[in-house]
Amino acid sequence: MKIISYNVNGIRAALKKGFDNWLKEENPDIVCIQELKAMADQIEPFYKDLGYELYTETAEKKGYSGVAILTKIKPKHIEYGCGNPLYDSEGRVIRADFEDFSVMSVYMPSGTSGDIRQDFKYDWLDFFYQYANGLTKDIPNLIISGDYNIAHTAIDIHNPVSNKKSSGFLPEEREWLSKFIESGFIDSFRRFNTDPHHYSWWSYRANSRANNKGWRIDYHMTTSPMQSRLTSASILPSAHHSDHCPIVLEID
């Protein structure tokens, strides 16, 4: 089974860049989308002909944030949001429960616009740590896929020294991600690949993508009981529909 996570930076913009044709060729079973930036009725039903159902959790503010799950497998249940109105108003969490595992699409806040949003991000991280770990008591086989807006270690960012005071690579954020993993989650990409220079996001500035000056901030985090089912994980930098690229997880 192939699961893809992709921050598309606007589904309508991505479709204009051939997202639907790419999706047909890649043919994943499940796709977790972040930064949908559209209401459900604004999205053309391109996915129907490809055999998917689309489930969305959108932000109250039009053209902002939003997450979705495309799936060829009928879920038992869809959980819209995380039960916290502060975050659900921004469309940050959606979860699909299947027979023997669950998949969550999550878009974690960015703090790059200033101190107010950085503080919002820290509050979110505190909340999400408790929320995710609480879920694992009832959902032991859980995959949390999405844009975490944090590069974890020095090999996950092109220039760790100059970015040590940048939101997304701050010590407190990196420590949180370490704590999250230590609480019982697996960074699936690092389970299979420990090499540097693998990134999932690049700035639009200074020809960053062509020079591979990026950050790895998108993850398929899985609970520990899923470990024996993980068969491969990869990043697809050749897909150019966004400032992010897709990440792939394959499971038995």
The arithmetic mean of pLDDT across residues 224-243, rounded, is: 98
pLDDT tens profile 116-138: 999 999 999 999 999 999 999 99
3-state helix, strand, coil in the chain (%, to 5): 25, 25, 45
The arithmetic mean of pLDDT across residues 72-93, rounded, is: 98
Catalytic position from the list 97, 123, 126, 147: 147
pLDDT tens profile 188-222: 999 999 999 999 999 999 999 999 999 999 999 99
Q: What is the pLDDT of residue 156?
A: 98
Q: What is the pLDDT of residue 220?
A: 98
- Record: fold of 2-251: Deoxyribonuclease I; Chain A (3.60.10)
The arithmetic mean of pLDDT across residues 168-178, rounded, is: 98
Q: Which residue in the block uniquely carries the two structure tokens 């994943």? A: 28
Mean pLDDT of the chain: 98
Rounded Cα–Cα distance for residues 95 and 180 (Å): 19
Helix (H) or strand (E) holding 4: strand 2-7
Q: What is the pLDDT of residue 159?
A: 96
Q: What is the pLDDT of residue 55?
A: 98
AA letter at 182: E
Known catalytic residue: 147? yes
Q: What is the pLDDT of residue 150?
A: 98
pTM equals 0.98
Q: Which sequence spans correspond to the domains of the chain?
A: 2-251
The arithmetic mean of pLDDT across residues 33-54, rounded, is: 96
Q: What is the pLDDT of residue 175?
A: 98
- Residue 81: HSE in the Cβ half-sphere, 13 Å Cα cutoff: 12
AA letter at 6: Y
